[in-house]
Amino acid sequence: MARLDGTAALVTGGSRGIGRGIAEALAAAGATVVVNHPPQEDDSYGRGVVEAIEADGGEAAVIQADVSDAAEVQAMIETFEADYGAVDVLVNNAGILTQSRVAEMPVEMWDETIAVDLRGVFLTTRFALPGMLDQGAGKIINVASQLGLKGGEELVHYSAAKGGVIAMTRALAREVSPTVNVNAIAPGPIETSLLADISEEWRTAKEAELPMGRLGRVDDVAPTAVFLASDESDYYTGQVLSPDGGDAMH
């Protein structure tokens, strides 16, 4: 029997990058996985994840919803529960990353980052949590960032949102444990499309700064999510696990 047989998981922002890696890893461990991605994204990305999971013998589906929109999130959770029952594993991964110094930052940039990266975590949790509490079990995994622990120049908005996710994780864990385990993953810089436009100068400097000497890969993060989704993590709650190559030791 696989580690997650019989569980149903929802992965927001699951169509690419870290989210896709987590969705595929959860499915490989036996979970039925619902992949969420935003309506403005080409639905071929979500379908591609589902097809890859099914090709490996797993079960998956896709739901489009904007995690910053309360009505869309509520409808997504209602659809999930109608098809699979209460969410067993919720992975709040959806996020955006932009760059600006605060003195020049458009207010809209701040608002959009907080809306997706922090409000989105609250909304999805808010509508999935009652079902978890009713069934007497659940795992919530919030994907934060090492920048939520240490901060980042020209990333004050992103750092603030991810720091909020970490604080929310700890507070919610106190509120809903032992029924629901709530933990966070705070990855370091990971080789995904979010880093596609970085300069070689930045990459070289960052790799020299990291104790592990390289940027992370999606495969460095996904196993942490599988662990937190499994029974093996039942005594973990309110924790922040950091596959970050030593970037933010805490």
Residue 198 has pLDDT above 80, yes or no: no
Q: What is the pLDDT of residues 24-76, one digit of tens each?
A: 999 999 999 999 999 999 889 999 999 999 999 999 999 999 999 999 999 99
Active site residue 158: yes
Residues in the chain: 250
The per-residue pLDDT for range 203-217, each reduced to its tens digit, is: 888 898 889 989 889
Residue-range domains of the chain with CATH? 8-240 (3.40.50.720)
pTM, whole model, 2 decimals?
0.95
Rg (CA), the chain: 17
Active-site pick, 45, 158, 235, 236: 158
